[in-house]
Amino acid sequence: MSTSLFSLKGKNALITGSTHGLGMSMAKGLGKAGAKVIVNGNSSQEKIDKAIIEYKNESIDAVGYRFNVTDETEVMAAISKIEEEVGPIDILVNNAGIIKRTPLVEMAVSDFKEVIDVDLVSPFIVSKEVVKGMIARGGGKIINICSMMSELGRNSVGAYAAAKGGLKMLTRNMATEWAKYNIQTNGIGPGYFATSQTAPIRVDGHPFNEFIVSRTPAGRWGDPDDLRGAVIFLSSQASDFVNGQIVYVDGGILATIGKPSNES
């Protein structure tokens, strides 16, 4: 099988929330597979500029655009500008997201709505605008970053789980409506990954660290680079007949009920 099936040479890929973390790791994977990376963030232009330097230090062709993915007017203007200045968007990765760890009974309605807005509504807003060009050109790839919480609940992440569960079904409905235009819409559900955000709970002896390592059949936290293969596959010609699927990159957590504490 030719590796050209996975080549993204000549493709433009927009990855929302790609100035750091898992978004940046996936974007680097796309860049190393040949795509031009379109970086998005909303915190500051300085952060975007710093991210662009990091991409270019790894010989990745990257440009940056600051816009709020929850603001339809900003999204419309940004997509129009990107298509004018960079070219058609061939690949869209809806990665931007937030989480608020608050028990539901204590959670303010405004906080619940904010999580839904960023994690569920924004993929709809951005995809709705980007897909117009994909339909006109007769093809494209959309990847929504879901979660294990698209399938499971957990204490204090009710809003996040509701949004990610909704995103799973939005992904399937996008596939249902847009497959006839040769557009493949799929999702990636990351498990527990070693990032700067999880560093404080990944130390030896921490109860949550012990829980995740013992609960994961692979016996470890995910490395952000572990996501690159899935995002390249779903962005490439290799996945042209894959549609409406959620690929869980979780070391096997969702495949098992777990093991008793006394089992080696």
Look at residue 42 in the predicted model and tell me its pLDDT: 96
Residues 120, 167 contacting (CB under 8 angstroms): yes
pLDDT score, position 187: 98
Residue 107, phi then psi, degrees to nearest 5: -80, 130
Name the active-site residue from 55, 160, 192, 248.
160
Q: What local confidence, expressed as pLDDT, does residue 200 receive?
A: 85
The total of structural domains in the chain comes to 1
Q: Give the pLDDT of residue 198.
A: 86
Question: Domain residues for 69?
Answer: 7-250
Confidence of residue 258 (pLDDT cuts 50, 70, 90): confident
Q: Is 191 helix (H, G, I), strand (E, B) or coil?
A: coil
* Residue 1 forms part of a structural domain: no
Question: Which pLDDT does position 249 carry in this prediction?
Answer: 98
Strand 91-94 relative to strand 140-145: parallel, antiparallel, unpaired? parallel
Mean pLDDT, rounded, of the chain: 96
- Among this protein's residues, is 160 annotated catalytic? yes
Adjacent-strand bridge partners of 36:
12
- pLDDT at residue 214 above 60? yes
Q: How far apart are the first and last CA of the chain?
A: 39
Confirm whether 259 is domain-assigned: no
Would the pTM count as exceeding 0.75? yes
Backbone angles phi, psi at 151, to 5 degrees: -120, -30
> Which DSSP helix (H) or strand (E) runs through 159?
helix 158-178
For 210-245, give the secondary structure using H, E and C: HHHHHHCCCCCCECHHHHHHHHHHHHCHHHCCCCCC
**Inside any domain, residue 150:** yes
Q: What is the pLDDT of residues 33-75, one digit of tens each?
A: 999 999 999 999 999 999 999 999 999 999 999 999 999 999 9
Structure tokens at 130: 């980007």
Q: Which residues pair with 249 in a beta bridge?
A: 190
Measured between alpha carbons, how far is 194 from 89 in angstroms, rounded to an integer? Answer: 30
Residue 54, C-beta contacts closer than 8 angstroms, at least 6 positions apart = 24
pLDDT band at 261 (very low <50, low <70, confident <90, very high): low
* Confidence category of residue 3, pLDDT binned at 50, 70, 90: confident
| Percent of the residues in the chain that have a pLDDT greater than 90, as a whole number | 92
Which residue type does 56 have?
A: K
Establish if 34 belongs to a structural domain.
yes
Give, in order, the Cα–Cα distances in Å from 255 to each of 50, 191, 215.
39, 12, 11
Evaluate if residue 177 carries a pLDDT over 90.
yes
Domain with 180 in it: what CATH number?
Answer: 3.40.50.720
Question: What local confidence, expressed as pLDDT, does residue 227 receive?
Answer: 98
Q: What pLDDT, on a 0 to 100 scale, did the predictor assign at position 2?
A: 59
Residue 137 Ramachandran class (φ > 0 left, ψ -120 to 50 alpha, else beta): alpha
Mean pLDDT for the stretch of residues 201-216: 92
Instruction: Report the amino acid identity of residue 34.
Output: G
Instruction: Tell me the pLDDT tens digit for each residue of 159-168.
Output: 999 999 999 9
Higher pLDDT: 106 or 257? It is 106
Residue 259 pLDDT > 80, yes or no?
Answer: no
Closest CA to 145 of 244, 243, 246, 224: 246
